[in-house]
């Protein structure tokens, strides 16, 4: 391939949406690649979605708060397998009430409520691993 032909090939390649082009002949091989950067990818079968603004209506929703795990470990709602749950949905809790236990490194750590309110949901299942700052209870 002549030098002028190669230059023309490069110019043509730059004007296309192709990202890679390889040409191989008997004694000649060329591979051209270009970086498309952050060009959006559009798939042929993907439906086009157009955003439609939605009216912002003020929500009349009560303020929900969560009590989060202070450490990583296994979360329990009871002090022992035979005992009753420390908290239940609908129960009123006060600051300082024990709401659960997290076992970490064979040490049982009592979790005290740092907020008061009514338990609306128990978000972490008893006996399962929880992460640091994972919501355990939702209160109102």
Q: Measuring CA to CA, how many Å separate 119 from each of 82, 97, 116?
A: 22, 12, 9
Phi, psi of 12 (to 5 degrees): -65, -40
pLDDT tens digits for 87-123? Answer: 999 999 999 999 999 999 999 999 999 999 999 999 9
At residue 46, the pLDDT reads: 46
Where is mean pLDDT largest: 7-16, 34-43, 50-59, 70-79?
70-79
Q: Are residues 27 and 70 in the same domain?
A: no
Same domain for 135 and 70, yes or no, is: yes
For residues 137 and 68, what is the distance between their CA atoms, to the nearest angstrom?
A: 7
Residue 38 within a domain: no
Residues in contact with 24: Cβ distance below 8 Å, sequence separation at least 6, in sequence order: 30
Q: Say whether both 84 and 134 belong to one domain.
A: yes
Q: Above 70 in pLDDT, residue 75?
A: yes
pLDDT of 17 over the 80 cut: no
Domain membership flag for residue 98: yes
Chain centroid to CA 14:
38
Query: Is residue 26 one of the residues assigned to a domain?
Result: yes
Residue 69 and residue 29 share a domain: no
Please give the residue range of the domain that contains residue 23.
3-33
50 pLDDT more than 60: no
Q: What's the CATH code of the domain at 135? A: 2.40.50.100
Number of domains in the chain: 2
Q: What is the DSSP string of the chain?
A: --HHHHHHHHHHHHTSS-SEEEEE-SS-EEEEE---TTPPP--TTSPP--------PPP--PPPEEEE-SSSEEEESSSSTTSPPS--TT-EE-TT-EEEEEEETTEEEEEEPSS-EEEEEE-S-TTEEE-TT-EEEEE-
Mean pLDDT of 58-85: 86
Q: Is residue 18 in some structural domain?
A: yes
75 with 119, same domain?
A: yes
In-domain check, residue 45: no
**Is this structure's pTM higher than 0.75?**
no
């Amino acid at each position: 391939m002549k030098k002028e032909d190669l230059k023309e090939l490069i110019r043509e390649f730059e004007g296309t949406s192709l990202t890679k082009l390889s040409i191989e002949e008997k004694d000649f091989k060329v591979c051209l690649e270009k970086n498309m950067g952050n060009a959006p990818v559009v798939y042929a079968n993907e439906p086009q979605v157009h955003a439609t603004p939605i009216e912002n209506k003020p929500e009349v929703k009560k303020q929900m708060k969560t009590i989060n795990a202070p450490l990583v470990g296994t979360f329990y709602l009871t002090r022992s397998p035979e005992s009753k749950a420390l908290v239940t949905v609908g129960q009123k809790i006060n600051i300082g009430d024990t709401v659960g236990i997290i076992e970490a490194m064979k040490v049982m750590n009592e979790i005290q409520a740092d907020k008061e309110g009514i338990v609306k949901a128990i978000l972490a299942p008893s006996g399962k691993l929880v992460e640091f700052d994972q919501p355990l209870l939702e209160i109102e």
